[in-house]
Amino acid sequence: MVPNYHWKMVSGWSNYSGKVRSHKMNENEMGYRGSKSEFVSQPNFVKEQRVDGSYCIANSKHMQLRCTLMGFERNYLVKIPANQLNNRSFSTLSTQPVPLALAKGNTINPWFFTGFSDAEGSFIISMYRDERSKTGWRITPNFSIHIHIKDIALLEGIRDTLGVGKVRKNSSSTAIFRVDNIQELQVIVDHFTNYPLIGFKVSDFLLFKECYDLIKQKQHLTQEGLEKIVALKCNLNKGLTVVLKEAFPNIVAIPRPHYKFNGILNPNWISGFVAGDSTFCVTIERSSENKVGGPPAFSRAKGRRIRLIFGTCLHIRDKELLIGIANYFKLDEGKYIYDSLHRETSLLQIKNMSDIINKIIPFFNQYPILGVKSLDFADFKKVAEFLSYGLRPTEKNKEHLTESGFSKIIQIVEQMNLDRNNSTSSLQDSVHRKEREDKT
């Protein structure tokens, strides 16, 4: 072991220690990692080189650890632009994006995964004709999470944490994490047994688990077992396809398990659910009053109104879940939850500045959101810092009242949420997305 003074390595730390050492080795033994970055806080720029993270040589008689300098290795899955790496905030409302992983080894908290699955996961039993099968049908169970490709790193983190499944690009704009191996699916079933889903989707899981158990016992290869799986599938997700209804016209559906919201069991569940199904939004509207002040939900400057909104839109059948989230934050559900009966949706919308500063932001600082939405939360906090002058009245805190300060807020808003450039319509888009899902 020798002290590492080789400045061709990436600048930054992969841990919080003050010293780094590395083994001597040939450059051509290194893999490719990192990208060329410009660190504005250093007078002498540092070129990045091919480097790996820490690893152990498995076939060695003694475990050997090699550590190298990495550019914010603990954050590398979040894909933070290089010119933002050295931005620092000394406020209690820190605006730095959080790392993708919550623990050592980039593992993801199991309750976070459950919450994210409540928002984005799907339990599927696929059935299609196969003349080679004894019953004439092939049955394939799978669990999948299908999201925007911007969050493919989060899917990879889930795969690596669970040790099962595959992640691939599903299209130019989407990525999918999928587990369809019958042995690997046992890991998924065990996870949701130990860290249960709490939304309406738990009923899908229970139906899926019954089908999975029949398949493991090879009952799907018998006519009786096949028909029982079809009966279970009747109330799983969107039910039977037209082909299956025609093939099994006399099947009597097995009732869907009754859903009852039993409370939020762990705060990390909220972070996972929010990463998949919530929005941090900043709206800028025209105000009829050309003055500073007004209710604490917003700030007015030169006829414009800035409002921070944290929102979640779900199907109305999950309204109890939204009430549970509101109660968790000790909020008056009557003031924050809105129903749209013709759209069959319920919306949790938190707009009070005091609630956002004192409850929402501190909560997600303690229980971080992972993936791309952590960047939206970081921008959300930046705007909150501008608007929090009422809590810490200084000239600096009133910068948003100036034209230059307002311009800074505009720049932040333009990179948030959808495509990182459109925040004002994000809640409406969430509502419309739910409508499209329910129609298909």
Query: 110 and 213: one domain?
Result: yes
Residues 274 and 281: beta-carbon distance below 8 Å: no
Q: Structure tokens of 398?
A: 């009133």
Type and span of the H or E element at 346: strand 345-350
Residues 176 and 144: beta-carbon distance below 8 Å: yes
Q: Which residues of 176-212 are buried (b: 16+ CB within 10 A; e: fewer)?
A: bbbbeeeebbeebbebbeebebbbbbbbbbbbbbbbb
55-56 and 21-22 as β-strands: parallel, antiparallel, unpaired?
unpaired
Strands (E), 209-344: 278-286, 298-301, 304-315, 337-340
On the 0-12 / 13-18 / 19+ scale of CB atoms within 10 A, 254 is: middle
pLDDT at 302: 54
Residue type present at position 348: L
Query: 218 and 115: one domain?
Result: yes
Q: What is the pLDDT of residues 361-417, one digit of tens each?
A: 999 999 999 998 999 899 898 888 877 754 444 444 554 455 666 666 776 776 676
Whether 253 is covered by a domain: the verdict is no
Whether 130 is covered by a domain: the verdict is yes
**Across the strands, what pairs with 145?**
121, 177
CATH number at residue 336: 3.10.28.10
Whether 221 is covered by a domain: the verdict is yes
**Across the strands, what pairs with 125?**
141
Taken as a whole, the chain contains a residue count of 440
Q: What is the pLDDT of residues 328-371, one digit of tens each?
A: 999 887 778 888 877 889 999 998 888 999 999 999 999 999 99
Whether 214 is covered by a domain: the verdict is yes
Instruction: State in Å, rounded, how far the first CA of the chain is from the last one.
Output: 60
Q: How many CB atoms lie within 10 A of CB 253?
A: 14
The percent of residues in the chain predicted with pLDDT above 70, rounded, is: 60
Query: 74 and 40: one domain?
Result: yes
Candidates 418, 93, 420, 413; CA nearest to 283 is 413
Residues 199 and 209: beta-carbon distance below 8 Å: no
Q: What is the mean pLDDT of residues 71-92?
A: 40
Write down the pTM of the prediction.
0.69
Query: 300 and 241: one domain?
Result: no
Whether 314 is covered by a domain: the verdict is yes
Query: 96 and 126: one domain?
Result: no
- 59: phi then psi, degrees, rounded to nearest 5: -90, 10
CA distance 327 to 93: 24
CA distance 74 to 82: 15
Q: Is the pLDDT of residue 111 over 90?
A: yes
pLDDT at 44: 37
CA distance 202 to 2: 54
Candidates 8, 46, 53; CA nearest to 31 is 53
Candidates 182, 189, 191; CA nearest to 161 is 191
What is the count of structural domains for the chain?
3
Where among 61, 86, 101 does a domain terminate? 101
Query: 413 and 278: one domain?
Result: yes
Q: What is the pLDDT of residues 285-315, one digit of tens each?
A: 766 554 444 443 344 455 667 888 999 999 9
Candidates 35, 36, 76, 37; CA nearest to 53 is 76
Query: 26 and 91: one domain?
Result: yes
Q: Is the pLDDT of residue 166 over 50?
A: yes
CA distances from residue 256 to 119, 206, 314 in whole angstroms, order as listed: 20, 9, 20
CA distances from residue 68 to 22, 57, 72, 73, 106 in whole angstroms, order as listed: 6, 15, 11, 10, 17
Which has more confidence, 15 or 213?
Answer: 213
Give the torsion sign (CA, 299, 301, 303, 306).
Answer: negative
Where among 41, 73, 101 does a domain terminate? 101
CA distance 386 to 398: 7
Whether 41 is covered by a domain: the verdict is yes
CA distance 232 to 211: 7
Query: 164 and 87: one domain?
Result: no
Q: At which residue do the structure tokens 């009923």 appear?
A: 203
Strands (E), 96-228: 121-129, 137-148, 166-169, 174-179
Q: At which residue do the structure tokens 């299956």 appear?
A: 244
Range of the domain at 61: 1-101
Query: 115 and 155: one domain?
Result: yes
Q: Is the pLDDT of residue 38 over 50?
A: no
Query: 33 and 176: one domain?
Result: no
Q: Structure tokens of 287?
A: 């105000």
Query: 298 and 152: one domain?
Result: no
Where among 60, 78, 101 does a domain terminate? 101
Whether 239 is covered by a domain: the verdict is yes
Q: What is the mean pLDDT of the chain?
A: 73
Query: 409 and 397: one domain?
Result: yes
On the 0-12 / 13-18 / 19+ scale of CB atoms within 10 A, 329 is: middle
Candidates 204, 373, 351, 341; CA nearest to 273 is 373
Which has more confidence, 437 or 415?
Answer: 415
The percent of residues in the chain predicted with pLDDT above 90, rounded, is: 47
Q: Of 41-50, 140-149, 272-281, 430-439, which range is least confident?
A: 41-50
CA distance 321 to 263: 8
Q: Is 163 helix (H, G, I), strand (E, B) or coil?
A: coil
CA distance 276 to 118: 8
